[in-house]
Amino acid sequence: MGSPLSKELLSARNRDELDLTKWEGGLKALPPRIKNCKKLLRLVLKDNQLIDLPPELGLLDSLESLDISHNNVNQFPLSLPKNIKEVKASHNRLFYSLITPKIGELSNLRSLDLSFNQLELIPDEIGNLANLKTLLLQNNDLKVICLGITNLSALEKLHLGNNKISRIPPEITRLTLLADLELHHNQLQKLPDSIGCLQNLKRLILGFNNLKRLPDSCGDLIRLEELCVQENRQMDEIPLTLQKVHTIKRADFHGTKLDGIPLAIKTWTNLVDLVAKDNGLIEDLPSVIGNLVLLKRLDVSECCISRLPERLSDLKLLLYLDLSKNQLKSMSFPTVMEGMESLSRLFLSGNSLEFLPVNICFLAHLTELDVSSNSLTNLPDEIGRLSNLARLFLNSNKILALPAAIGSLHDLTVLECRSNVLTTLPAELGNVLCLTRCDLSENRLNGLPCEMAKLIQLRTFELKGNPWIEPPQSVINQGVDSILNYLQEMKKRRDKGDSAFGGKGNPSGF
């Protein structure tokens, strides 16, 4: 009858695609009779246990795409059909043998993925691949960029992240069609001054290097849409010439020595995502932040920001704002915040808020609010206006009581008020019927309002570290269902005026 593999190869003689991904626990060898599958355009062998490939692959004259990723292949195939356009060979062991110079003979190759192979060298013959548009070499052990790569005149995408490269040859500017360049997690200290010649560049990813500055010529990258220089710990300046670039949509400056948000951003009116967290020298946000009318995400956490500009409220499309771990006080906020009418997630933990600014409660679309680790003693009644709020984090403050208005938060699913000084809870908390997680641990509570028996969606109820009386600790220890059952019985008896359960005049406040 023949093996399942034999049957599959026989069937593939009349097909243009053969997929042997994870073949029966791991294909260890590809039979030479693969040569009979003459009509194949695409051959997928990924996620197996192949060590090498048969030379008969070279006889598949119609083959255009070969995927051997996630195997144990220790040598780049010496024989491949000349018509092949795509080779995926990531996550193998190609470091065992030098990449054959014959790779330069694959003149129709459009895409080549050699990532995750611990490669130390790429042959200069790769420069003969005149039609190559995508070259993926990330996560190897490359120390230099071979000059052959700089001859790839059709190249549009070059990924070299996670290597050991310390120098970018100035010849890289020959790649005039290059649109996507990744060089993150290397050992770069500078870029070629002529980097601005790459005028088709849309993505420049330079994070986690040792760069101190960017060349002024970066201002000539007039099509740039994404600029990432995060975790270049010595970088203290972004060239003002970048204000000539109006196309940037995403910028990441986190973990640098910048002492302020780069002023070049004032013209980045297409910016959608700005990350500048973990910059201890940044003390404020410039008013020009209000120019970024398309901004949807702003993360300036872990800085030293002590005030916010009034123009922050001009960010009408902003969805995500992270101001955690700064030096903000309650009076640091703009007098009007309703302008941020789209804001959905707001993070203010780790600041010095004495009270929650009331204007935050007018952010009608807010779904998540984190004001943990501040100095709050209460919440304003206006908190009840946040009708879309789903997650509220109040941990590690000095809150004495929650307002009755919290019962108006009908969409709330998560409430965390851990490590405060609560002594009582409002009965209205029982109206938050969508609540699935509630953390009231490490407070001074001795009772729960029986109205909380209605919270039948609760799955997590953290109550440790309180001096419980009603319910008693023995019930608390049994978990959510037991607690809710107890509260239900307590409510029934209260409604009947049973003094054994405290009645309506229970001194614990429920």
The pLDDT value recorded for residue 498 is 57
CATH code, domain with 13? 3.80.10.10
Residue 236 within any structural domain of the chain: no
- pLDDT tens digit sequence for 67-87: 999 999 999 998 999 999 999
The yes-or-no verdict on residue 180 having pLDDT over 70 is yes
Residue 39 located in a structural domain: yes
Residue 25 domain-assigned?
yes
Among the three residues 24, 54, 75, which one is the final residue of a domain in this structure? 75
Amino acid in the structure at residue 138: Q
Q: Which residues contact 255 (CB under 8 A, 6 or more apart)?
A: 230, 231, 232, 233, 277, 278, 279
Domain total for the chain? Answer: 2
Mean pLDDT of 454-479: 95
Better-scored residue on pLDDT, 504 or 192: 192
Q: Where is the domain boundary, 49, 75, 101?
A: 75
User: For the chain, what percent of residues have pLDDT higher than 70?
Assistant: 97
Is residue 17 over pLDDT 90? yes
pTM above 0.85, yes or no: yes
DSSP conformation class of 307: B
Which domain, by its residues, includes 418?
Answer: 376-503
Dihedral, CA atoms, 247, 251, 256, 257, nearest 10 degrees?
40
297 within 8 A of 320, measured Cβ to Cβ: yes
Segment 120-149 mean pLDDT: 97
Considering the domain boundaries, does residue 466 fall inside one? Answer: yes
Q: Does residue 294 form part of some domain?
A: no
Q: For residue 505, what pLDDT is reported?
A: 37
Within a domain: 469: yes
Average pLDDT over all residues of the chain:
94
Query: 279 in a domain, yes or no?
Result: no
Per-residue pLDDT, averaged over 37-59, amounts to: 96
User: Which pLDDT band, with edges at 50, 70 and 90, does 161 fall under?
Assistant: very high
For 191, residues 6+ apart whose C-beta sits below 8 A from its C-beta are 168, 206, 211, 214, 215
Is residue 15 a part of any domain in this protein?
yes
Mark which of 75, 95, 119 sits at the end of a domain.
75
- pLDDT tens digits, 291-335: 999 999 999 999 999 999 999 999 999 999 999 999 999 999 988
